[in-house]
Amino acid sequence: MTIADKKVVTIEFTVKNADTNEVIESSVGSEPLIYLHGFNNLVPGLEKALTGKSVGDKYDVNVTPEEGYGARDEALVQEVPKAAFEGIDKVDVGMEFTADGPNGPVVVEVTKVEGDMVTIDSNHPLAGIPLAFSGEIQEIRDAKEDELEHGHIHGPSCNH
């Protein structure tokens, strides 16, 4: 069996910043990633690279921001008055919260606090960063009907 649309795939993965070689996230030493292929559950560049691979195959792929989490969009960086953060005692750099975006909820990060103004950034934290993914294919199976309906896998980590 090879990786194709509608397959449930288990992979070990490490993702690094391709410029600095810094490890951003890794499944090594913890749970592997299980995902439904062909449903945009992974970034496009990684899905493309995994297509056609078999269990035991290793992968090592560089993904541009365009095929990763997108280019950074400076329009998503905004300054808002501190007063907008009602009910929050202290607004600090690095705080994250969820806001309503045009395509559903987005995670917004506080990147600067100066006087009464707060700078927030709703770019994906990995936007604009070239990424290097590597790892090994561990398992491939056909997706079940209900998984295809939902567009994601149903396993122990599923909470519905």
Contact positions vs Zn ion (CB under 5 A): 150
Judged by beta carbon, residue 77 or residue 148, the one nearer Zn ion is 148
Closest separation in Å from C-beta 150 to Zn ion: 3
Closest separation in Å from C-beta 34 to Zn ion: 13
Judged by beta carbon, residue 21 or residue 40, the one nearer Zn ion is 40
Residue showing the smallest CB distance to Zn ion in the complex: 150
Judged by beta carbon, residue 82 or residue 150, the one nearer Zn ion is 150
15: β partners: 25, 133
Closest separation in Å from C-beta 69 to Zn ion: 23
